[in-house]
Amino acid sequence: MLIVLLLCTNVWAGGVLEQRVAAGKRLTLDRKMGNCLACHAIDNGPFSGNTAPPLFSMKSRFPDKKKLVAQISNPLANNRDTIMPPFGLHGILTEDQIHKIVEYLYTL
Ligand code: HEC
C-alpha cells in the first residue's frame, strides 16, 4: 500500500515538475516574456544573442538555486552596470515565472 502511494506521489510530482519545466521553457524563449535569447545562446538555439554568456550546465554551475533565481530577479545586485534586465525587481516576470525558468535552465 505504502509503495503504491509512494509510486503515485512520485509520478504526480514528476508530472508537475515536467509541466513547470515546459512552462519555464516557453517563458524563457517568449520574446514578450523572458526573451533570454536576445542576449544568451541557449541549447544552441538559432537566432540567439551572444552579448551574454551562453546558458549551459546550469545545475552544476549554479548548484545553489537561490543564486540563479537572484541573478534573474535582480542581476544589478551582482553587477550594477549589467545590461541584463532585472526581471523580478521591475515586475517583468513574477516570482513563480522566474522559478519556472530556473526549473527549465536546470535541464540545460
Ligand atoms: C539584454 C541582454 C540580456 C537579457 C535579455 C538577459 N540577460 Fe542574462 N545576462 C546578460 C549579461 C550581459 C550577463 C553577464 C553578467 C553581467 O552582465 O553581470 C548575463 C548573465 C546571466 C546569467 C549568469 C550567467 C553565468 O554564466 O554566470 C544568467 C544565469 C542569466 N543571465 C540568465 C538570464 C535569463 C534566464 C534571462 C531571461 C529571463 C536573461 N538572462 C536575459 C544579459 C542579458
Q: How many other β-carbons are positioned within 10 Å of the β-carbon of residue 19?
A: 12
Q: Which of 37, 40, 72, 108 to mutate to test the pocket of ligand 1 (most atoms within 8 A of CB)?
A: 40
Asked whether the predicted pLDDT for residue 48 surpasses 80, the reply is no
pLDDT in tens, 77-86: 999 999 999 9
In this structure, which residue's CA is closest to atom 22 in ligand 1? 71
Please name the residue that has the C-alpha cell 517568449.
Answer: 30
pLDDT confidence band for 15 (50 / 70 / 90): confident
Read off the pLDDT band of 106 (50, 70, 90): very high
Residue 56's CB is within 10 A of a number of other CB atoms, namely 14
Give the pLDDT score at 103.
Answer: 97
The reply to whether ligand 1 has any atom less than 6 angstroms from the CB of 39 is yes
